[in-house]
Amino acid sequence: MKVLSKSLAAMVAAATLVGGGAFAVAGTAYAADNDAITVTPNPWYANSFDGWGTSLAWFANATGSLGEESAITTNLGDDASKAKAVEYGKQLRTKQHARRFYGVLEGQFRHYFEMAEKMPGVTGENLLRILESRLDNVVYRLGFADSRAQARQLVLHGHFRVNGRKVTIPSFLTKVGQTITVKDGSRQLGLIKDIVEKNSGRTVPKWLEVNREAMEAKIVAVPEREDIDLPIEETLIVELYSK
């Protein structure tokens, strides 16, 4: 009993229908189903097909080899696809982690990446520097808010000034030399005073200088990678967006 694909059987000889879904090729009876053909060799044609000298055993071996080669190719393709899927998943998780860390939407995040690409230096590190320079992040880093989410709300409600000007946009990108101060009318608010007092022991990154009593600060440098406590491989984000 041999199993051949329909296309291969058709290459051997023309088939003759014999009824009941069966047909014959060079005296050999075939029973067809949806996916394969079951071959029952006629003893008269046990050694050849229609006198061509083509051995049934040889033909079966040949088709078997083709089947094995196809299976090997399929397995290699599956392994490569799985590896790509694993790598893509890792890149995607890294990006999502960074987005959640800074509370940034996808559109904003991609815009920052495009900005980082155009800047001199390492794209991944540039991206993190841009995220660190957001006003809501700076307010949090200074200890003027318990979280970035709270910092966004405080900025939106107009509690901070940048170089003396009111800024209510959390995504505002600060620059070296700018000063960040709590609005005069907000310094006596119980909420603000409690937050500043509670976070008085928080370590401030070296690229920032803060006077907690005066509730004012200054950006004195560009943040370096070692100043950023985000445990990710930013190169994975670069790879993801570079596809």
CA distance 144 to 117: 31
Below-70 pLDDT ranges, the chain: 1-77
Q: How buried is residue 98: exposed, middle or buried, by Cβ count under 10 Å (0-12/13-18/19+)?
A: buried
Query: What is the reported pLDDT for 75?
Result: 63
Place of tokens 């040949």: 62
Q: What is the pLDDT of residues 140-191, one digit of tens each?
A: 999 999 999 999 999 999 999 999 999 999 999 999 999 999 999 999 999 9
- Can you point out the beta strands (E) in 58-171? 160-162, 165-166
C-alpha 240/C-alpha 56 separation (Å) is 53
Residue 76: the pLDDT is: 60
Average pLDDT, the chain: 80
Closest by CA to 94, choosing from 239, 237, 241, is 237
Q: Tally DSSP H helices, then E strands, for the chain.
A: 8, 10
pLDDT of residue 30: 46
pLDDT of residue 198: 95
Distance CA 71, CA 125 (A): 44
pLDDT at position 53: 43
Q: How high is the pLDDT of residue 2?
A: 43
